[in-house]
Structures are given as structure tokens and as C-alpha cells.
Structure 1
Amino acid sequence: MQLVRIGDKVINPERIYRMVDRMLELRSQGLSQQEVAEILGVDRTLISRLESVGEMRKGKRIALVGFPVANGPELTAMAAAEGVDFILLMSDQERHEFARSQNGVELLNQVMRLIARARACDAVIFIGSDERLKMVEALVGPHVIGIEIGRSPMKEDVYVSPEKIRNLIRSLKD
């Protein structure tokens, strides 16, 4: 268990995560914000604000981006069949080849174009390391759904469940 000290307070993040999980469970069962607040012993506005922080826009434009992914072709075929608008999945080797194949200016321009394409989508599913996820959230914005597959620096490709990604895509489209 990792505790966090803030001034003279000691905070247990796991307790916060459990509380948020319980809140979402109760809300998804159809309880009102007020009912959940009373059950959990918190202010209703806390429920509202937490929901606002996590709210994803449902829409037709979805991007799927990730690296280092071991089963990129499999995920690409599935995502294309599900109607995903922008797909960019790379293995570790493909990622390094992409970077080496261009000079600095070309690489920067290409990365900026890719970021612009992702930002144009209503939701971006990003598969990657903990540090890359933070960077993508900062660059692309709050409509990123992160799937962390390891800690940076990652040196090996990771198999990602196509069914998990398919279910996520379908939940965004519904």
C-alpha cells in the first residue's frame, strides 16, 4: 500500500479508488447522484465533479493508437471491421524504424500530423506504457482512454486482447 503525505494529512489512494469504483457501480445501477452520495457519505457535488472529470464524449470518430503492440495486424483488422476512423499500431521495431526513416524536421511534422488526426476524433484509445500514456493525455486531451501495458521504458512488444479493445470500441459507439 502506498500512502501519500499532503501537508499534515496522510492519504490512502487505494481507499479513494475503491470509493470511486463503488460510486460508478452504484451510478451504473441507476441510482441518482444524491442516492449514491448518501450511501457513500459524501456531498452530491463530489459525485457530479468526478463524473465530469471522467466523462467521455460518445461519437462516431474513434482513434486506436498504440505501441509496442505484438499483435498490431490482428488489432488493426478488428478495429477496421468495427469502423474505427484512425488506426496507428506499431511494434517496438516498427516504432524505431518510423523514427529512423525520417530526419528531425520530417519526423516532427509527421508526429504533429498524427496528433492532429487523433485530436480530431471524439475518443482516442491509447495502448502504451505508463509514461507514454501521460504524454498522450497531455497532447491529445481529456478524450483519451488509456490502456497501460507496462512501465517505461518498454523494450518488448505486448499482446493486447482484441476482445477487450472490441468491447471498448463498441461501448464508445453505443
Structure 2
Amino acid sequence: MNLIHIGEKVINLEKIYNKIDKILEARSSGLSQQEVADKLNVDRTFISRLEGIGEVHKGKDIAVAGFPIKNKDEVISVLEKHGIDFYIIMTEQERREFAESKNGAELINELMALLAKGRSYDVVIVIASDMRSKMLAALLDKEIITINIGHSPLTQDVYIDPALLDSVIESIKDKKA
């Protein structure tokens, strides 16, 4: 059980996650916000705010960062099909070579330049381990779509389903904002 303490209260995170899952499942099945609110005994405004927190604005410029990727060529093919012009897709070996081929100052400068470039996009899709995804989300401070490929540290390349990636990109680009 995942519990946190807030002042005198003990909060059960699983209970919150389960309620949110039920709300979103009911909404995606076609029920109105008011119908879901009545059914699950929550305020309709809570549902509206919850949807606002998670909304991905469509029609935005997209960048992609992913590592360690086993089927790099397939992933890049999907990105190019969608016209995504800024991406960093690396295998584990490429990631290690990138880090080891530079001294400390060079590595920091190159990483800062990549982060600055990533921040210029509206949405960044991050395909990485749980820890790396959280770190990139904090550093980029942008709208992040995460495709979690495992628990850190990942030491082996991971296969990415091209159809999943295609679907994620389609859902973002589907309708222009």
C-alpha cells in the first residue's frame, strides 16, 4: 500500500489512482462529466480540472528523445513519416559512447544545447526508463508524453512497438490547435 502523510492525514495513493482510473474510463466510454460525477460521487468540476491537467494540446511541434532503443531504425522511420525533425534516438552503446567520448565540460555543454533545443518544442515524447523520464520532464519543463520502457537503470536495448509510437504521435498531431 502506498501511503503518504500530509499533516494529520494519511493518504492512500492507490485509492486516489483507482478513483481517477474509474473516472477516466467512464469519460472515455462516452459518459458526460455530470453522469460520471453522479455515478462516482465526485464533483463535476473535479472531473473537468482532472481532464485539464492531463490534456495534450493537439497540433503542436513535437520532439522525441529515446534511449536505449533496440529497433532504432524502425523508430526513426515512424518519426520521419510524421515529419518530426528533432529527435535523439540512441542504442545503449551509442548512449555510452556519447557520454564517454567527451570530457566533463564538453558533455555538459552538449547536453545543455540539446535541452535548450528540446525546450523550443511544444511537446516532447520521452521514451526511456522511469527515472530518466522524470529527469527529462523536470529539465525540459514542457508538455511531456512518456513511454516508459522499464525501471532504471536500463542496461540493454529495449524494443519499441512502432505502432504504439505511431498512435501516440497521431493522437497529438490529429487535430490542429
Say whether the fold is shared (TM-score over 0.5).
Answer: yes
Specify the alignment match of 1:159 in structure 2: 159
Q: Gapped runs of 5+ residues in structure 2?
A: none
The offset of 1:156, in angstroms, is 0.8
1:59, 1:122 within 8 Å by CA — same for their partners in 2? no
2:35, 2:82 → 1: CA distance? Answer: 37
SS state at 1:107 partner? helix
Alignment of 1:5-154 (within 5 A): 5-6=4-5, 9-154=9-154
2:2 is the counterpart of 1:3: yes
SS state at 1:45 partner? helix
Residue identity opposite 1:43 in structure 2: D
What TM-score, normalized by structure 1, do the two folds share?
Answer: 0.89
Identity of aligned residues (%): 51
The offset of 1:129, in angstroms, is 0.9
1:133, 1:171 → 2: CA distance? Answer: 20
User: Aligned-residue CA RMSD in angstroms?
Assistant: 1.8
SS state at 1:150 partner? coil
SS state at 2:84 partner? coil
What TM-score, normalized by structure 2, do the two folds share?
Answer: 0.88
How many residues are paired up?
173
Residue identity opposite 1:161 in structure 2: D
SS state at 1:56 partner? coil
Moved over 3 A (4+): 7-12, 29-32
SS state at 1:152 partner? coil
Residue identity opposite 1:110 in structure 2: E
Q: Gapped runs of 5+ residues in structure 1?
A: none
